Amino acid sequence: MPKISFTMNLSKKFEELVIKQLESFGCSMGVTHLVMYLASAKQGTKASFEMIGQWPQIDRLLISIEDDPSLKVSSPNRRWYPLQENDILLGVLRVETDFKGGNWPVSLDSRLKALSISLAKCVSIELERQNKNKEINFLKNQVNVIIHQLRNPLAALRTYAKLLIKRLGSDDDSIEIVERMIIEQKQINQYMDSFAQLNSPIQLPLEIGEERLLLPPNLDNKKEITVQSLLRPIIERGKANAKLENRDWIEPSFWPDWTLSPVKAKYAVIPEIVANLLENAFKYAQKNAEIGITITSKGLCIFDGGKKITKNENEKIFHKGFRGSAAKKKEGTGVGLFLARKLAKQIGGDLKLLGNYSIDHNEELKYLKKNNIFYLELPIKELHV
């Protein structure tokens, strides 16, 4: 049977659990001593079995089986039970009794086998925890390296952009494009700052999922943010994309009061939702289709004049992994709309694809005759500081 070498960096909770299990069996049916050992090996030495817990706790000396002279003499009052996961030996359980002539009750033997199975499961879980921690630490180190490596070229891009502005002189149109590049570079820096926080202890929300977005927080809590200031860079990005693709682009000409008042930091995710929707529109709408964004009294509408999403897919497109007929031949993962709706709900809003009925019965949207309209409804009353 193969034996696994277990690193002895055990968690305190694991050790306490082992002791509790041994104690719960103590003084039962003639048992006088229980000792648990784990397979272990130091570099350059053969594997051994190290003691990690015993009952009663006579002492706390971690003596290996090889270093305990009393175990070199066989005894009818002693038995060994393997702690194994499938065909891998993780450790052993030593049991001492006060029986005469080694007559062990069958019921005791059955209970000890059950105890050894339970302890083996504990060891397996602890081993998995250690491996996961190693993986996490490795990934954190890799993230640190990547962040460090990215800082320099990002700083260089900013420097070159500033030099280019100087060379352009009075070419205002070109200067505006370069200035937009600098804004995008700042946004990437915010993502780098967010990545850097991964190595700090974080309190995860109770309902967090594996698909949680790593969004750049409002790093400067003293900085006042409004929906307008949050959306400006996204709108400029959309305008640039439309110009590059020779599309018609529509952006807000009027900003309601609720977009101009300071909002709480948690609503800084709004531009991420909008950016996601615009990215989908540019990716999947036909090349000549119009794209744009408009603002209502209760939220935002992101629309396009591409092929209309079928009624059958109106809700399915928000399911994780689902890809609509328009996306079949395009690259993608089918999680964008799922994440966008999830973020909208997390901030007390909602995201839906409006049908003809919804548009016809909404005075603010009657004029908006577009094939696909995504409506991001926001909790207007709760938005502001």
| pLDDT tens per residue across span 245-275 | 889 999 998 899 999 999 988 888 898 899 8
CB count within 10 Å of CB 151 equals 13
What is the pLDDT at residue 218? 45
Please check whether residue 204 lies inside any domain of the structure: no
364 or 291, higher pLDDT:
291
Check: CB of residue 55 under 8 Å from CB of residue 33. yes
Residue 83 has pLDDT above 70, yes or no: yes
84 shares its domain with 233 = no
Please check whether residue 84 lies inside any domain of the structure: yes
Looking at 100, 130, 160, the residue that finishes a domain is: 130
217 shares its domain with 100 = no
Q: What gap in Å lies between CA 383 and CA 260, rounded to an integer?
A: 11
CA distance to 128, 165, 174, 176, 237, per residue, from 171 (Å):
61, 9, 6, 9, 20
| pLDDT tens per residue across span 32-74 | 889 999 887 655 556 678 888 888 877 655 677 877 877 878 8
Check: CB of residue 155 under 8 Å from CB of residue 141. no
Task: Mark residue 44 as left, alpha or beta (left: phi above 0; alpha: psi -120 to 50; beta: remaining).
Answer: left
pTM across the whole model: 0.56
What is the pLDDT at residue 208? 39
Across 189-196, average pLDDT: 76
Q: What gap in Å lies between CA 168 and CA 175, rounded to an integer?
A: 7
Across 317-335, average pLDDT: 70
| pLDDT tens per residue across span 197-245 | 766 665 544 443 444 344 444 445 567 889 999 999 889 888 888 888 8
Task: Mark residue 246 as left, alpha or beta (left: phi above 0; alpha: psi -120 to 50; beta: remaining).
Answer: left
User: In which domain, by residue range, is 27 found?
Assistant: 12-130
Task: Give the number of domains in the chain.
Answer: 2
Structure tokens, 97: 């009794």
